Amino acid sequence: MKRDDVVGALLRMDVRPSILEDFPALPADVEGLLIYGSQARRDAVPGSDLDVLALVTAQRPSTDSGYVHVSYYTREQLSTGIGTLFGAHLKRDAKIVWDKHGHLTRAVGDMGQVDTKRLLARAWSMSGLFTSLERDLPKYLSGLLRQARYLLRSCLYAQAIADGAPCFSVRELAVRHGDPYLARLLASRQPGEATAADLEQCLSRLHGIIGEFPPSEHGSLEATVVNEWGRPSDVLSMAFMALGTTGTTSDYAEVEKVLL
């Protein structure tokens, strides 16, 4: 499907034309496309991103183009979303734009319920990433904060599901927890620079949900990446993403995605 055909289909789905100006050209091996998140739910506010998932045959990194975020998944990668929050989000919100072979529709249909116990256990294993801060700050503050926010948000959602009152709104969770600062802490677009204070705020709340973090096996973020390389794991993927992005992405190595 050509870019212009995709844009046309998205316009018919009421996505604002101003966002679609940034829609990137898609690789030739795309065989399915969906949108999810606020644009798919039609509760987007000005400044909301357009979240796009493209089904492809070859792994590649996600891209950001203006307000358009495109994540690329192979069928195998998408199957790891079964039982995750991500899968539950897709099942609830996704709108299929195009599905050449029907694989995307089937994959979304297979997502099922969130396994909250497994999610919290995985989050705990990944939290060891935050136990070598003396060595990793300030060089990797920005990436560590981004990953801490992701873990905290995921754990809060999982906790709400486990408590029998699912909620995927940070603002509503802030009210529920009597924690007004939470909404600002977890807002998807953060003004200004990452701060150690915000990281500390995220980690203290994460402690409250999953308990004491396991000590880092390798003593630093960089050592985790080097020693774990070639052995796909949540810890490696989280560490790799915490390195942040530098320069061109054309030569970035790929690690497995973390789908909580």
Partner 1 sequence: MSAEIAFVGDIHGNLSALRGLCNVLAARGGPHAIFLGDYINRGAQSAEVLEELLAYSGSGRATLLRGNHEAALLDALDTGDLTAFLKMGGAMTIRSYVGAKVGPDVLSDFRARFPREHLDRIRRMPENYESNDFIAQHTQPSASTSKFRVSAHVAVGKLPRIEPQSAQLDTGCGADDGRLTALLWPSLDYVQVDARGTIVTD
Please report whether residue 59 would count as binding partner 1 according to CB under 8 A: no
∠ CA 29-16-92, rounded to 5°: 65
Among 42, 101, 135, 207, binds partner 1 (CB under 8 A): 135
Q: Residue 50 — φ and ψ, nearest 5°?
A: -100, 115
Q: How far is CA 86 from the centre of its chain?
A: 8
Q: Least distance from C-beta 234 to partner 1, angstroms?
A: 17
The residue range among 81-89, 96-104, 107-115, 221-229 that interacts with partner 1, by the rule CB under 8 A, is 221-229
Count, residues near partner 1 per rule CB under 8 A = 23
Q: Least distance from C-beta 25 to partner 1, angstroms?
A: 16
Determine the 3-state secondary structure of 205 from DSSP: helix
The contacts of residue 34 (CB under 8 Å, 6+ apart) are 40, 52, 53, 90, 94, 95, 96, 97, 99, 104, 108
Nearer to partner 1, 193 or 251 (CB): 251
Please report whether residue 223 would count as binding partner 1 according to CB under 8 A: yes
Please report whether residue 11 would count as binding partner 1 according to CB under 8 A: no
Distances 229 to 146, 214, 235 between C-alpha atoms, Å: 21, 20, 10
Q: Residue for token digits 């995921």? A: 154
- In the region spanning residues 230 to 249, those forming contacts with partner 1, defined by CB under 8 A, are 230, 240, 243-247
Listing DSSP states for 37-54 in one string gives SHHHHT---TT--EEEEE
Please report whether residue 30 would count as binding partner 1 according to CB under 8 A: no
Q: Least distance from C-beta 218 to partner 1, angstroms?
A: 7
What distance in Å separates the CA atoms of residue 177 and residue 182, rounded to the nearest whole number? Answer: 9
Q: Least distance from C-beta 24 to partner 1, angstroms?
A: 18
Contact string (CB under 8 A) for partner 1, positions 140-169, x = contact:
x-----------------------------
User: What are the b/e assignments for 26-43, b being 16+ CB within 10 Å?
Assistant: beeebbbbbbbbbbbeee
Among 110, 222, 234, 256, binds partner 1 (CB under 8 A): 222
Going by their DSSP bridges, the two strands 95-99 and 50-55 should be labelled as unpaired
Q: Are 55 and 32 in contact (CB under 8 A)?
A: yes
Among 82, 218, 234, 256, binds partner 1 (CB under 8 A): 218
Determine the 3-state secondary structure of 97 from DSSP: strand
Among 21, 220, 232, 257, binds partner 1 (CB under 8 A): 220
Please report whether residue 27 would count as binding partner 1 according to CB under 8 A: no
Q: Least distance from C-beta 260 to partner 1, angstroms?
A: 22
Nearest by Cα to 32 from 1, 78, 11, 63: 1
Extract the tokens encoding 51: 């979240």
Contact string (CB under 8 A) for partner 1, positions 103-132, x = contact:
-----------------------------x
Binding site for partner 1 (CB under 8 A): 132, 135, 139-140, 218-220, 222-223, 225-227, 229-230, 240, 243-247, 251-253
